[in-house]
């Protein structure tokens, strides 16, 4: 009888544990109204809540910490419960600031041509508008699209001055023009929509001996571009006729509005003749000597894995506080079918934001802030 009672108690305990509801996962975002401060660090607690079990006390503590900054007139929390998640919406209201000053500081590029392009595309900021962070982000996005469209890489430093006492804002976009790139077609509404877009361009079956940058220079079909069966045929022929690869094959799948292009290439070893390192922006006046510790070396066969490792090495080597740094690869083929590999290293300042006279540096962060 004692054994039966013990078993019954154990079963009741298991049933109680199983019946206890599991805490739902939280998805948190900030709905910023008015001229919210563009400071990712201000909203860090909301990012930290996402993916964790929902806790009302933690959400309230997060709201209190954001309001304590003094940049918001008021704030509240709204929640919506789904089958597995609870969505937490932090609604924060800031005063509206009128954008008094707006400037685009661009080096080495026709400014008027750029301004004409960006003003006719997208919802960009103009002097006299109310400053909103989402339109600030959109303006930088359109600037990036312009330079990508003309085949230039670019770094953009946003310098913002928000004065909540005077009710005004000022913005300057410092644009560092980097090396040439293969032009990237902008997405609608910045470019006309393709009748047959390349929905996916898959290079997963391209082996380690193949320099992707060189392949892109030799072909017309790229991601985000428009699909053409004729261009695919020409691209395949150009790659095969180059004699640089052992095997080349394109596969096309999908319907008219969902063309998926798969490129399969088996490469041949290509000897590296020279490795160059070129700086732009903050590094443009420095002589970047070839690094003896660079994984990719002259005289060796090209391997993309070593090129990727070289990029990571250079990022670590030239990283500095308060600046953004990128490394990209450019491959040139000599008459003897050897490679000149150039690593371009643009460096430019991180964003600066001044709020009521206090300056902040802003590192790139993915933030769920809507306004």
Alpha carbons 318 and 279: distance in angstroms, whole number: 10
> Which tens digit of pLDDT belongs to each residue from 158-195?
999 999 999 999 999 999 999 999 988 877 777 778 88
pLDDT(367) > 50:
no
Report DSSP state, residue 167. Answer: T
What local confidence, expressed as pLDDT, does residue 291 receive? 79
Asked if residues 367 and 43 have their Cβ atoms less than 8 Å apart, the reply is yes
Residue 237, SS3? helix
CB-side neighbour CA atoms (13 Å) of 367:
22
CATH class of 198-267: alpha beta
Alpha carbons 272 and 303: distance in angstroms, whole number: 10
Q: Which tokens belong to 87?
A: 């969505």
Alpha carbons 177 and 280: distance in angstroms, whole number: 8
Residue spans of alpha helices (H) in the chain: 2-19, 44-49, 56-67, 111-119, 133-149, 212-218, 229-241, 304-318
Architecture of domain 272-349: Roll (3.10)
> Which tens digit of pLDDT belongs to each residue from 244-300?
999 999 999 998 888 999 999 999 999 999 999 999 999 998 888 777 889 999 999
Residue 60 CA from chain centroid, whole number? 31
Task: Look at residues 346, 302, 151, 297 and name the one whose alpha carbon lies nearest to residue 214.
Answer: 302
Q: Quick check: do 198-267 and 272-349 share a fold?
A: yes
Phi, psi of 62 (to 5 degrees): -65, -45
Q: What is the pTM of this model?
A: 0.83
Architecture of domain 24-94: Roll (3.10)
On whether the 98-187 domain is CATH 3.10.20.310, my answer is yes
Domain assignments of the chain as residue spans, ordered by start:
24-94, 98-187, 198-267, 272-349
Helix axes 111-119, 133-149, angle to 10 degrees: 120
17-27: burial string, b at 16+ Cβ within 10 Å, e else: eeeeeeeeebb
> Which tens digit of pLDDT belongs to each residue from 7-42?
555 555 555 545 455 678 999 999 999 999 999 999
The mean predicted confidence, pLDDT, of the chain is 90
Alpha carbons 72 and 35: distance in angstroms, whole number: 9
pLDDT(321) > 80:
yes
């Amino acid at each position: 009888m004692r054994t039966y009672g013990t078993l019954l108690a154990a079963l009741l305990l298991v049933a109680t544990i199983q019946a206890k509801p599991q805490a739902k996962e939280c998805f948190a975002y900030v709905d910023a109204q008015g001229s919210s401060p563009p400071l990712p660090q201000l909203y860090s607690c909301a990012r930290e809540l996402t993916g964790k079990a929902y806790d009302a006390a933690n959400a309230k503590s997060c709201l209190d910490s954001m309001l304590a900054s003094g940049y918001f007139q008021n704030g509240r929390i709204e929640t919506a419960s789904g089958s597995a998640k609870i969505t937490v919406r932090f609604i924060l209201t800031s005063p509206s600031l009128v954008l008094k000053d707006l400037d685009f500081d661009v080096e080495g590029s026709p400014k008027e041509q750029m301004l004409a392009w960006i003003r006719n595309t997208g919802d960009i900021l103009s002097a006299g508008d109310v400053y909103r962070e989402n339109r600030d982000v959109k303006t930088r996005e359109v600037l990036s699209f312009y330079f990508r469209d003309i085949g230039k890489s670019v770094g953009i430093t946003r310098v913002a001055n928000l004065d909540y006492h005077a009710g005004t804002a000022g913005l300057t976009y410092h644009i560092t023009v980097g090396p040439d790139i293969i032009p990237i077609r902008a997405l609608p509404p910045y470019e006309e929509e393709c009748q047959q877009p390349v929905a996916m361009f898959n290079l997963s079956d391209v082996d380690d001996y193949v320099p992707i940058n060189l392949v892109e220079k030799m072909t017309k079909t790229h991601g985000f571009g428009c699909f053409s069966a004729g261009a695919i045929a020409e691209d395949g022929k150009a790659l095969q006729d180059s004699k640089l690869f052992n095997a080349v094959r394109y596969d096309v799948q999908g319907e008219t509005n969902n063309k998926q292009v798969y490129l399969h290439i088996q490469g041949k070893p290509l000897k590296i003749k020279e490795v160059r390192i070129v700086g732009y922006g903050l590094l443009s006046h420095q002589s970047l000597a070839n690094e003896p510790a660079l994984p990719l070396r002259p005289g060796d066969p090209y391997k993309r894995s070593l090129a990727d490792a070289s990029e990571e090495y250079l990022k670590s080597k030239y990283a500095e506080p308060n600046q953004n740094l990128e490394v990209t690869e450019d491959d040139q083929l000599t008459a003897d079918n050897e490679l000149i590999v150039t690593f371009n290293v643009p460096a430019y300042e991180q964003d600066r934001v001044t709020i009521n006279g206090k300056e902040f540096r802003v590192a790139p962060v993915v933030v769920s802030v809507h306004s």
